[in-house]
Structure 1
């Protein structure tokens, strides 16, 4: 059973209500799922392979249609016609894990312009959005670069820029740090911080519990019994729930437990989320 949504906000930006889905001739992937994304949150979605993370994200973005239940946008059911899906995709954008599944145009700027052009915007507005998105992802210098000559990290940024150019209120990222070196991960997280500061709500699917503890305000754990959503630190300290989700305890949670047991951290104090925060606590 899904845990109740504890948000104080009355209406989610986008939500799945009582949703069930199965692929053709396959077993159910999601059954009776309730899941909501609220404005201003950094939400990490975690679960074992095959738990339904990618399916859930595609349902949220309109790439899949639920067999039962409904998708809502601002509290209103989404219509799966051209107008309804256009309205959804100007609010919610999904960036898939492999950028090569998303990039197809000859140059970075051409690729990033594809979505805005399909909205029927003026050339001036399209250029403005492309420039804004490239600057946000720190790849303005790559505007004319052929996409097939980009590094993997640059391709990741270009794919995200294409979504950002749509100016979505919700940006959904499937394993955005996968395949990036530590410097690339840090640069991407800094970019996400800037997007959030500018008003974009971000949902990130990841297997990395340490990243989720560090980055997210809230986490959603997909288990065989349903989805469990709550504050990041408290939810990622629930060892039985983590076991059900096929995840390990984050090192920051374990470190906080040791520090509290030795009287080095007050019970009410937040535990370390990074190595730097741990070092600062022990100085």
Structure 2
């Protein structure tokens, strides 16, 4: 993890809403290039606030937001530069979609950058293809299914070609097939150079999907390899989360004669490990 370049970071950031207690206090947080990152914590831990600070929707009361190591100015030019680097997709797509059709909605961001029409069209086509909704370009947004609305909202962010894509509970409300398709899409985006940050309450999803995990607790942000951070009972308890099944299984496998058993992230990885357990015939 230490060898990856830091794309965007919060340094010593504190934030509180008007007349409210501090939500974040002296927080250090960073997103590293090419490392999928899961953000977890109990309700009220500051996940949404952190994401809005990263994307420029909120301004730190203390501390700095940096992109590529350079402080972000919260003026028009500075925020425009930030939003070409970092895009946030909120949990409810209906809070983000507003145009009459899918293509119009996805084109909104690139048009606001003042790009030539040909460039806007290319970006829209690219984003729709990346989210596998090219056939929906002319579909009215109010006729989309929930999963299609989710994909359209993400496509609008992807059309900005950000280096960092921040997603708030992107799998919430999707059926299992929809979740699998979205995860495959996120893998494709990662392969083309977009670093993805996902806020989620699902520890099993975080363990399966993320390279790194950040647990937000009252003592701050705790970040490291997902299998390590999500294996710490103390941090999970502080974050109001349970132990992921993969970590629990690794504990069992180690007790059954596999002292170096890795943490399985998927059922197929678990099946491979099970064959190595002494006495099972593997």
Q: Which residue, out of 3, 10, 17, partners 1:8?
A: 3
Q: Are 1:22 and 2:19 matched, yes or no?
A: no
Aligned length: 275
How far the C-alpha of 1:266 sits from its partner, in A, is 4.4
Q: Which residue, out of 17, 21, 28, partners 1:34?
A: 28
Q: What SS class does the counterpart of residue 6 from structure 2 fall into?
A: coil
Q: What SS class does the counterpart of residue 120 from structure 1 fall into?
A: coil
Matches within 5 A, 1:225-264: 225-263=219-257
Cross-structure match for 1:271: 263
Cross-structure match for 1:137: 131
How far the C-alpha of 1:278 sits from its partner, in A, is 1.5
How far the C-alpha of 1:81 sits from its partner, in A, is 0.9
Question: Could you give the per-residue CA deviations for residues 136-191 of structure 1, whole angstroms, max 9, x where no partner exists?
Answer: 00000000000000000000000000000000000000000000000000000000
How far the C-alpha of 1:12 sits from its partner, in A, is 1.6
Runs of 4+, deviation exceeding 2 Å:
6-9, 279-283
Cross-structure match for 1:94: 88
CA distance in 2, matches of 1:220, 1:281: 27
Matches within 5 A, 1:143-222: 143-222=137-216
CA distance in 2, matches of 1:167, 1:155: 19
How far the C-alpha of 1:275 sits from its partner, in A, is 2.0
Q: Using structure 1 for the length normalisation, give the TM-score.
A: 0.95
Cross-structure match for 1:72: 66
Structure 1 gaps of 5+ residues are: 1-5
Cross-structure match for 1:118: 112
Q: What SS class does the counterpart of residue 37 from structure 2 fall into?
A: strand
Question: Could you give the per-residue CA deviations for residues 101-122 of structure 1, whole angstroms, max 9, x where no partner exists?
Answer: 0000000000000000000011
Structure 2 gaps of 5+ residues are: 276-282
How far the C-alpha of 1:259 sits from its partner, in A, is 1.0
How far the C-alpha of 1:8 sits from its partner, in A, is 3.2
Cross-structure match for 2:79: 85
CA distance in 1, matches of 2:273, 2:243: 20
Cross-structure match for 2:51: 57
User: What CA RMSD, in Å, does the superposition of the two structures yield over aligned residues?
Assistant: 1.0
Q: Using structure 2 for the length normalisation, give the TM-score.
A: 0.96
